[in-house]
Amino acid sequence: MRFALTACGLALATLVTPAVASAPRLLNSNIALPATNGLSDATILIVRHGEKTGFGTGLSAAGSMRAQVYADYFSHFSMNGAPVHIDALVAAEDTHKSDRPRLTLEPLAAAMNMPIEQPCADHAIGTLVDWLKQRPAHQTTLISWHHTKIAKLMAALGVDPKTMLPGGHWPNDTFDWVVALHFDHDGKLIPGSARIINEPATVNNVVWATMSHPNISPMPVMQREETLASR
Domain span at residue 177 reads 43-217
Whether residue 19 lies inside any domain: the answer is no
Written as one letter, the residue type at 121 is A
Q: CATH number of the domain that 204 lies in?
A: 3.40.50.1240
Contacts of 198 (CB under 8 A, 6+ apart): 176, 177
Whether residue 77 lies inside any domain: the answer is yes
Q: What rounded mean pLDDT belongs to the chain?
A: 83
Write down the pLDDT at residue 167.
96
Whether residue 22 lies inside any domain: the answer is no
Of the CA atoms within 13 Å of residue 146, those in its CB half-sphere come to 18
Q: What is the pLDDT of residues 159-200, one digit of tens each?
A: 999 999 999 999 999 999 999 999 999 999 999 999 999 999
Give CB contacts under 8 A, 24+ apart, made by 193-197: 194/154, 194/159, 194/163, 194/164, 195/164, 196/164, 197/79
Residues of the chain with pLDDT under 70: 1-36, 212-231
Which ranges in 48-200 belong to alpha helices (H)? 61-73, 100-112, 125-133, 147-156
| Structural domains of the chain, count | 1
Write down the pLDDT at residue 54.
82
Write down the pLDDT at residue 36.
64
Whether residue 1 lies inside any domain: the answer is no
